[in-house]
Structure 1
Amino acid sequence: MKNRRNFIKKAAAGLAVAGLLPLSKKTMAGEVKITETLVHHVFFWLKEPKNEAHKKQLLKGANELLKIKTIKMSHIGFPAGTENRDVVDHSYSVSYMVLFDSQADQDAYQVDPIHLKFVEENQHLWEKVVVYDSVN
Structure 2
Amino acid sequence: MKNRRSFLKKAAAGMALAGLSPLTRKANAGEIKLESALVHHVFFWLKEPDNKTHLKQLLDALEKLLKVETIRLSHIGLPAGTENRDVVDHSYSVSYMVMFDSQADQDAYQVDPIHLKFVEENQHLWNKVIVYDSTDFNL
Instruction: Check if 1:80 corresponds to 2:88.
Output: no
Pick one of 20, 33, 42 that aligns with 1:12: 20
Identity of aligned residues (%): 69
**2:70 aligned partner:** 70
Deviations 1:77-128 (A, max 9, x none): 0000001100000000000000000000000000000000000000000000
Runs of 4+ aligned residues of structure 1 deviating over 2 Å after TM superposition are none
Deviation at 1:11, TM superposition (A): 2.5
Deviations 1:49-95 (A, max 9, x none): 11000000001110011000000000000000001100000000000
- TM-score normalised to structure 1 length: 0.84
**1:124 aligned partner:** 124
Distance 1:74 1:125 in 2: 21
SS in 1 for 2:68: coil
Instruction: Check if 1:105 corresponds to 2:113.
Output: no
Root-mean-square deviation (Å): 1.9
Unaligned runs of 5+ in 1: 1-6
Look at both structures and tell me which one has the larger radius of gyration over its CA atoms.
2
**1:44 aligned partner:** 44
Distance 1:117 1:28 in 2: 39
Letter in 2 for 1:111: V
SS in 2 for 1:99: strand
**2:6 aligned partner:** none
